[in-house]
Amino acid sequence: MPASAPHPSEQARLLRLGIAGVGRVGQIAHLAHYAALPDLDITIADLRPDLANEVAQRYGVRAVVDHHALLAQGLDALVVVVRREALGPIVLDALAAGVPVLSEKPVAMTLTDAERLRDAAIRHGVLYAAGYMKRSDAGVAHARDLLQRRRQDGAWGALVRVEVWSEAGIDGAQPQTVAMTAEARPSGLETWEAAPDWLPPSLRGAYEETLNVHSHATNLVRWMLDAPLAITTAQRDGALVTVTAQAADIPVAFALRDDRRSSAWSEGASFVFAGGTLRLDLPAPFLPAAAARVTESSPAGTQVHTVDADGGAFARQCKSFVAAVRGTAKFPALGADAVHDVAFADDLWRRLTAPAFLETR
């Protein structure tokens, strides 16, 4: 054995990773990054056989028919990237099998189902991670450290308020990097509720947008401030929802807009102190290898922090999940914590659909 080669006992054992769902997001946000990591043995599943085979050939991995076949192989971890209402049953099966799982977000479309998954992870004692990849963004991590430092050193005085905006636009994906086929979207998946039963059908699309896009904003603010959010007021004017909330004793104002699909992505937060502001501008989610921009402004001047993207948020999230499965690091976004974002959406839309509100629309 060459002197430079590690002893077999020192080599990392191949981690058997399954990925259920290899459509657009499954490829861009997950498979492309896991396939670039060492010491992984990857198997994919998709109910579209032509797509599964084409993707398997492209990335040099195996393909099976569904998540049952994946779990039957004795996985070390499973990543679930199917459509939102089909996430829960697959995650539940993985947890029951004792397999650590990373679920795309939102973890469920109703609070009851989100709590069901949380409780299952606790009952089975299994790692349950949620795909809030912005917590893995290098710029966000840097901003969080700066925010904690500013709050502790008192140089800017008290944190007065937080202003948050989330306007979904062009997501930054590169279409040429995705393998797709003409097959219909799979219909053989077990599904849970796509929205609460109390929500009027005409509002289900807006509710879904809150969970699919704007829950990133609520999740991020809770993580940055290390405090729960409690809604105080909520209003809706067409595509714009404005929310005021409290995080401990700090007021937080949200502006959530749903009609910018053909415009530039605009998402971020400003943490306003008595004597300065820390601003965080988030990149479009699928923009390759981009990090959030961090800007500090005070009477002393303005500083824009240059942060190495380190592969981008999704790449860092994938590395973090593998490390968590191996037991060498903690994953930053757990499914139990993600329940709070579903609860926020539930509370928000209960307020927006109250009889007095509906009568004025």
Residues 203, 128 within the same domain: no
Residues 153, 121 within the same domain: no
Give the Cα separation of 315 and 98 in Å (integer): 25
Residues 101, 165 within the same domain: no
Among 132, 163, 183, identify where a domain stops.
132
Residues 80, 140 within the same domain: no
Amino acid at 272: V
Residues 51, 138 within the same domain: no
Residues 124, 183 within the same domain: no
Among 83, 99, 132, identify where a domain stops.
132
This prediction's pTM: 0.93
204-249 residue pLDDT tens? 999 999 999 999 999 999 999 999 999 999 999 999 999 999 999 9
Residues 113, 151 within the same domain: no
61-79 residue pLDDT tens? 999 999 999 999 999 999 9
Residues 303, 176 within the same domain: yes
Residues 101, 180 within the same domain: no
Q: Are 309 and 289 in contact (CB under 8 A)?
A: yes
Among 132, 151, 166, identify where a domain stops.
132
User: What is the token pair recorded at 209?
Assistant: 């947008």
**Which CATH number fits the domain that encloses residue 37?**
3.40.50.720
153-169 residue pLDDT tens? 999 999 999 999 999 89
Enclosing domain of residue 189: 134-312+334-359
Residues 121, 208 within the same domain: no
**Which CATH number fits the domain that encloses residue 265?**
3.30.360.10
Q: Specify the number of domains making up the chain.
A: 2
